[in-house]
A and B are shown apart, each in its own frame.
Chain A
Amino acid sequence: MKGLRDTSLLFNRYGLQMLRNPVWLFVGISTPVLYLVLFTPLLNHLPLTGSEAGHAIDVFLPGILALQAFASGTGPGFNTIFEMKAGVTERLRVTPASRLSLLLGPVLFGTVAMFAFDILLVAVGAAFGFNINYGGLGILAVLLGLLLISMASFSIALAIVTKDISSFASVVTGLNLPVLLLAGVLLPISLGPEWLRVLAHFNPLYYLVVASRSLANGDLATSATWEAFAVLVPLCIVALAWATRVFRRAVA
């Protein structure tokens, strides 16, 4: 009960900080829309096959949703470092608030914020001709939530371990490029050579992207969906377990 109350207080606190940060709001809204507006025209001329075949925006938009989950998931760690440096973390730690709520408050707000931006993106996409399948998007939302919670926990824990913005940022940007390229969001993996396609199977985001396309297409019970759950559920458990461990040790 107390944990729930503390989590909701810290959820609101984090939300207030974010919503009063106009830059965050602006970038959060404009980035996915820009992807859509600038990138979709390029895709219209690509020869797409298999799960990637179809109307360009129907292929591309689900991938952007997956990318959003990954990218916004890496964000909270930057804030963690800022809060450690500014003494905010200590101010919260000296209260009797539940330790887990200190981690969950920001993670859950991140999840809600992502869904808000996702809904906006889908609405804009619909205007561009994106075909909405509610059942598929509903299941996709669960998968997106799993990836976001995994990434946000990982990001916060990594921030606590690295402690300074430059090492944290190096790890995050170092991770970004291979993960994004090997996920087939911007360019279809099917265009690449065999070794690239094999390598992609080691990338959790790849499974989410593949599943997102079939789900958005209305194919609900494909092997792609099961594979995505089989990868993301354990990933989420491992990330949360690690983050809780790091958190407990740091903020005992």
Chain B
Amino acid sequence: MTIDDVIVAIGLHKTFMVRGKEIPAVRGIDFAVQKGEICGFLGPNGAGKTTTLRMLTTLLPIDSGQARVAGLDVAREATRVRERTGYVSQLGGADELATGRENLVLQGRLYGGAKAEVARRVEEVLTVLDLAGIADRRAKTYSGGQRRRLDVALGIVHQPQVLFLDEPSTGLDPQNRVHLWEYVQKLRDGGTTIFLTTHYLEEADALCDRVMIVDHGRVVADGAPRELKREVSGDSVVLSFRPNDNGLQRALNMVNTLGFVREAAAKGEQLHLYVEDGTKALPELIRQLDAEGVGITAINLAEPSLDDVFLTKTGRSLRDASPAPTAEEEAA
């Protein structure tokens, strides 16, 4: 923990009571985020990402552990933490019947800004997020991308030191998603620390300076996307099989006996292997499969992705990880 740490979490825990049953959502999360980073929580639904975020933003009481944001204790100095942080929830929460500008002015005023100062700042934010042209239209009429930019604008109208974004690009088409990433990077370049949650691998990979992979309420991996991928040493080989001849299962049994295969896991209809050296492994693999009479329809050699990182840390693929409702959603 240094002076530059803008967000510090120490042993955070949160358990929800759902119909008399205790459901742990966050079970011991520790991390520190430095000023000016874009830091992402990557994990499947129900991993505890949103719960952690809501504890850090004073929306949810912390069961045990400590959180400091912008140099303040979240539990004891909630009001001052709110003054220094911005939060954009998954839902956004703009008033549909109010115009973009009205929404922003109200938000700025609720953050304590004086009228003239808020008006000036609102113009700035409208420009930064390319909303100036539609500022006087009701939020109801905005497109998905415009709406999301308004949500982000609402989170930064008071110039927070830290901005929390919960699943910022959910529901956006790929083009708007990339645009949003550019805006977020612009904010980071302006000195705002950004902490976001996502279940999109591409988002974590493209946007974040640092990624923490979260699963079952714990951080299972932490580092820059490139470092994390490098840790998954070797290459990944993906095999697809002819349908209806049980190829996947037979291949899985077979590759487990091969010395050069470090890990093998079925993902959907495909088999993912991690091997030390892909170029040497491929010919051998094909020979062996052929000898077993397993028909393959495709074979791909790839560098590891963040999904491979997730797979090696949790034994599951992020894409397949069950989208079970979170304890919080159930409790809500």
Contacts and interface: CB of A to CB of B under 8 A. Distances in A.
A94 B79 contact: no
B222 interface: no
Contacts of B112: 2, 96
B78 interface: yes
Interface stretch (A15-23, A130-138, A149-157): A15-23
Given A17-B98, A94-B87, A163-B332, A9 B79 contact: no
Nearest to A92: B110
Interface in A1-27: 2, 6, 9-10, 13, 16-17, 20-21
Contacts of A20: 97-98, 138
A94 B102 contact: no
A91 B92 contact: yes
Interface stretch (A82-90, A169-177, A199-207, A228-236): A82-90
Contacts of A90: 59, 87, 89, 91, 93
Interface string A55-87: 000000000000000000000000000010111
Give 4 closest A-B pairs by Cβ, nearest first.
A87-B91, A87-B93, A91-B93, A95-B110
Nearest to B160: A94
A97 interface: yes
Interface of A: 2, 6, 9-10, 13, 16-17, 20-21, 83, 85-97, 163, 252
Contacts of A89: 93
B97 A91 contact: no
A90 B109 CA distance: 16
- Most chain B CB within a 10 A radius of its CB, from A21, A90, A92, A252: A90
Interface of B: 57-59, 61, 78-80, 82-83, 85-87, 89-98, 102, 106-107, 109-112, 138, 154, 332
Given A13-B98, A96-B82, 19 more contacts: A6-B110, A13-B95, A13-B106, A17-B95, A17-B97, A20-B97, A83-B93, A85-B91, A86-B91, A86-B96, A88-B95, A91-B94, A91-B154, A93-B59, A95-B110, A96-B110, A96-B112, A163-B332, A252-B61
Nearest to B107: A95
Contacts of A96: 79-80, 82-83, 110-112
Nearest to B331: A163
A21 to B, nearest CB: 7
